[in-house]
Chains A and B, each alone.
Chain A
Amino acid sequence: MKPRRAHRRTRAMSRSMSRTRHPGWGAALVLALLAGAGWWFFARAPERRAPAAVEDPVARLRAESARAPRDIRILGALATALNNECYATRTLRGRVQPVLATSRERVLYAHEALRACDQVEGVLPTSVAAPHYRGMLYAAWGLPEEAGYALSVAVDRGDATAEARQTREVLKMLHMGGAEDRR
């Protein structure tokens, strides 16, 4: 009951104030707002003065590729940056930790990297780098058939890198099993 009575009194006071239109209340309101703004400014100043964080390469490359969506150089760099962050680790108080906290972020980054590869091929259908990169990404994520297929495409387009050849060989060996397992 008490709050309700207080509420009614406040509304009555408010009506009374609006009827009398006393000029002092307006000034008080302005003063209060200024005081509040001052408190807001000074109390939060240390936060605003905090040093700027290191620029996030993924954010920068996303912005760049949005500006130039057909620039395969930027798209390739974006795919690289996204994929690298999936596996990137840091030492946090003596322990190795992933930079991206959850698998959701890691998987989303990998998918975005794959889309960037698709975009590269949209601009340059004979790209060697795009399938090469896609293959390496799939291999690292443990999807060997997808990796093998992408690397085959890369090789068909002229990919002569040792990395592509070695990865395909390793995948084939793991597919077929070791000598001990074939016995």
Chain B
Amino acid sequence: MKRCLGLFVLLATAIGGCSGGRPGGHPLAGLGRSDWAIAWHPHPDRPGDLPALSGLFAPGAQSAVAWLPDGTFWNGDCEFALFDGAGRAVSFSTRRAFVQGIPIAGGDAGVEDAALEAIAFLPWDGGDRDSLAWGLVSLVAGAPADRDAEVHFSFASRASGPRWRPIDPRAAAGDSFSYQFENGKLLRNGRLIGWLEGPSATPAGAEAALAPGDYGGRVTIRERVRRGESQEWRLWIAPLGGVPAGQRPGELGRSTRELLARTRRAWQKELARGIGFEIPDSTTRRGVDAAIALTVGSREWRFGGQRFPGNPFQYRDYYVRDGARVVRALNLVGRPDLAARALRNLFEFQWPGGAVLSQRGQLDGTGEALWAFGQYVSLARDRTVGRELLPSAERGAQWIRDMWKLSNQRGGIAAGLLPFSDPRDNENARGHLLGTDAWGLAGLAAVRDIEHMLGAAAKSEALAAAHVEGRARLLEVWAREASRQRHPLPAAVERGASDWANRSVAYPLEVLAPEDPRVRDLEGMARRGRYADGLPTTNSGDSLHMYLGFDLTQTALRRGDRSTVGADLAAELAHAQPDGSGGEVILRANHDFGENLPPHGTYAAMLIDLVRSMVVYERGDGLVLLAGVPPEWLAPGRGPIRMRHAPTSFGLLDLLAQSPRANVLHVVLTLPAPARMELPVEWTITEVTPSGARSAIRVAGRHAVLFPVGASTCDIQVSRPGERP
């Protein structure tokens, strides 16, 4: 019987041990200064500071946590706030972002006479699976070396948060909420929304019938920390809507240090799966890192498959117009595995007639899905997925042709165009949006090329003819409307629509050339009257749009306008979050993102595309190298520009360019196609010294060098203004 009892005690201990673990050790031990990419001062009351948000997300997870500028944490449903002993909101005087864009954030605050160090993230083990991830906030109070410290603070939660904060549609509905704190568990209306670990937590008691904006579940902590020592408290934030009261965070028993190390390793491994990309500019590097981490990491397992929501927070939904850009970006960063899934997601929105439509009235989706298909097949060079999706793509192409035919039969001002649409988005109009037709043309071109590649010559020729006819009709309408509306390339047949997809006509849609006078006039008109602080304006001009300008920048790049590209990139990065991520719309006056929380997936995808294009882009049968790189990136003493195994539509590219000393640019290339390297116009090439005896490297004019297919190494001697030879 003694043995029976012994086993029972053992079992009970094991069960008890699973129900709650105590954090141990300093969670930030082992983290060095080099682990943080940047630190900043995010307090909203401090003039000149950008209201900054740390987005905490993990691949596979169906919800995310935002660490907001005011220091609170938000999961789309509940806000978790921290107050000092006097009941004031704790403000974090510094905020830190982890290196490589890994969504781990840190911050510092003072509570009474103790220093409070916070670190927040979604623990991730690297598994790519469906998960309702819990967020973890670790707070470590440290006492000075010469005296004990009294720590006094409290936690509270509220449904919703301030007025207008976006709420995830999956959040719990309710007019009033009751809170209860018991043994570390924070319950709201009987569901577990948080779990607090750490000593001396005293609940305020059960609170019932609180309005959504009222704080409840207050827990007060008063603890003496001995001199030179520290004490940790951990707040686990449940997935939005909470979980049943009997559940618990799966990682409760693990120390923060262990979870942090594991999460970091998992992210590093994930990010190492893509291309190698080095940029010798820390601001751009930070932006690209954040963009890659978001593009790769903002994915969830849902509805039995992998999905790529447009944003971890209020855009936790699927838009073909965003998803198409994400497909291209995933390919560019060397993740065709994810790109293929993202592409299949787009075709899940195909309607019986062939249209691809995810949101009511956004008829551009069909052309966008077909264009994304073309991007995938071209960059991933994947004929298998090409064959798999070609029938769906052909149905989409047929829908476009059918629509043109029907409207042509009807006649009138929109004869030969796609139907009117009401996208309820940035176009701010209902009408015949001409950018939708331009997307349709890009879609037809993509299917035409894939059919040609897969040997369906007759079909490809038929589509080529339809493309020629459709393009001619669109240009005819544009010519008519340009004179009627006094706009070089109006957004719609109907007056009053905001510029949107018409700005994409040269890049990426290639309906007109970047040098075309209409494109130049459109860009000039936009930059003169609809830009401010280097970014396009939106709404009534009081807001800046963070990704609407990328296509015009790409157009300028393809026109050889390096200085505009540099200025545009600088403006984008200057308005980005300190951690490098970008949003959609911000107020011009104070850069506040309001309820439109960053980071935004389309910004990330388009930034990746732009920076890649600055280093390499496809033109005709070859590649153009370094055409958008600012001269300062190539200054002596700067780190290299390096790309390893970068996908192009001709195959993989390896590139290294660096100036080891004044007036010399050292270049190492492995090219899948002939390339033209375009150096800044201020430079003059004086000599090219190839490493091999026989070389096909040729100088083309004062600023360009031509490289053949295959491996090349050379030193390019240049004279640069201000540098001695």
Contact = CB atoms under 8 A, between A and B. Distances in A.
Interface of A: 22, 24-25, 27-29, 31-32, 35-36, 39, 43-44, 46-47, 50, 90, 92-95, 97-105, 107, 111, 114, 140-146, 174-178, 180-182
A11 to B, nearest CB: 17
B12 A145 contact: no
B432 interface: yes
B363 interface: yes
Contacts of B361: 141-142
A29 B410 CA distance: 81
Given A35-B12, A101-B169, A142-B362, A177 B493 contact: yes
7 contacts: A24-B3, A32-B11, A102-B317, A111-B351, A114-B352, A141-B351, A176-B412
Contacts of B169: 92, 97-101
A177 B307 CA distance: 38
Contacts of B495: 180-181
| Residue from A27, A94, A99 whose CB has the most chain B CB atoms within 10 Å | A94
A28 B4 contact: yes
Given A29-B7, A93-B167, A104-B358, 13 more contacts: A24-B1, A25-B4, A32-B11, A47-B245, A92-B169, A101-B317, A102-B309, A174-B420, A175-B407, A175-B412, A175-B414, A177-B432, A181-B494
B303 A104 contact: yes
B722 interface: no
B250 interface: no
A28 B7 contact: yes
Contact of B360 (A100, A141, A174): A141
Contact of A93 (B212, B307, B410): B212
Q: Is the interface of A mostly helix, strand, loop or mixed?
A: helix
Interface residues of B, number: 64
Given A35-B8, A103-B317, A103-B318, A95 B167 contact: yes
A104 B318 contact: yes
B413 A182 contact: yes
B692 interface: no
B545 to A, nearest CB: 22
Nearest to B406: A145
Contacts of B407: 145, 175
B494 A142 contact: no
Interface string B1-32: 10110011001100100000000000000000
Nearest to A146: B353
B7 A32 contact: yes
A40 to B, nearest CB: 9
Interface in B495-514: 495
A177 to B, nearest CB: 5
Nearest to B424: A142
Interface in B156-200: 159-160, 163-164, 166-171, 173-174, 190
B494 A177 contact: yes
A39 B494 contact: no
A65 to B, nearest CB: 19
A65 B580 CA distance: 52
Contacts of B431: 174, 177, 181
Contacts of B351: 107, 111, 141, 143, 146
Nearest to B405: A145
Contacts of B301: none
A114 B174 CA distance: 33
Contacts of A105: 303
A50 B190 contact: yes
A27 B246 CA distance: 29
Interface of B: 1, 3-4, 7-8, 11-12, 15, 159-160, 163-164, 166-171, 173-174, 190, 212, 244-246, 303, 307, 309, 316-319, 348-349, 351-353, 355, 357-363, 402-403, 406-407, 410, 412-414, 419-423, 430-432, 493-495
Name B's interface SS.
loop
Contact of B410 (A36, A101, A111, A175): A175
A19 B419 CA distance: 82
A181 to B, nearest CB: 5
A13 to B, nearest CB: 12
A98 B495 CA distance: 31
Given A24-B4, A111-B352, A177-B413, A43 B246 contact: yes
A143 B355 contact: yes
B494 A145 contact: no
The 10 tightest CB contacts between A and B, nearest first, are A142-B361, A28-B4, A101-B169, A93-B212, A103-B358, A93-B160, A176-B412, A28-B7, A97-B169, A177-B413
A31 B245 contact: no
B246 A47 contact: yes
A179 to B, nearest CB: 11
A137 B159 CA distance: 35
A149 to B, nearest CB: 9
A183 B414 CA distance: 13
Contacts of A111: 351-352
Nearest to A114: B352
A32 to B, nearest CB: 5
Contacts of A50: 190
B353 A94 contact: no
Given A32-B7, A114-B352, A175-B412, A144 B420 contact: yes
Contact of B3 (A25, A46, A141): A25
Nearest to B5: A28
Contacts of A39: 15
A90 B303 CA distance: 22
Contacts of B15: 36, 39
Contacts of A90: 173
Q: Which residue, of A43, A95, A142, has the highest number of chain B Cβ atoms within 10 A?
A: A142
Nearest to B362: A142
A130 to B, nearest CB: 14
B8 A31 contact: yes
Contacts of B3: 22, 24-25, 28
B419 A145 contact: yes
Contacts of A43: 246
A32 B5 CA distance: 10
Contacts of A27: 4
A177 B159 contact: no
Contacts of B432: 177
Nearest to A22: B3
Contacts of A22: 3
Given A94-B212, A145-B419, A107 B245 contact: no
Given A28-B8, A93-B212, A181-B493, A103 B171 contact: no
A102 B318 contact: yes
A46 B245 contact: yes
A107 B320 CA distance: 12
B358 A107 contact: yes
Given A32-B7, A46-B245, A103-B319, A178 B494 contact: yes
A93 B241 CA distance: 13
A141 B4 contact: no
B349 A107 contact: yes
B417 to A, nearest CB: 10
A36 B361 CA distance: 55
A180 B307 CA distance: 43
A139 to B, nearest CB: 10
A24 to B, nearest CB: 5
Contacts of B420: 144, 174-175
A104 B307 contact: yes
Nearest to B3: A24
Contacts of A103: 317-319, 349, 358-359
A141 B6 CA distance: 67
Contacts of B412: 175-177, 182
Nearest to B413: A177
Contacts of B353: 143, 146
Contacts of A36: 11, 15
Nearest to A176: B412
A90 B167 CA distance: 12
A7 B317 CA distance: 48
A55 to B, nearest CB: 17
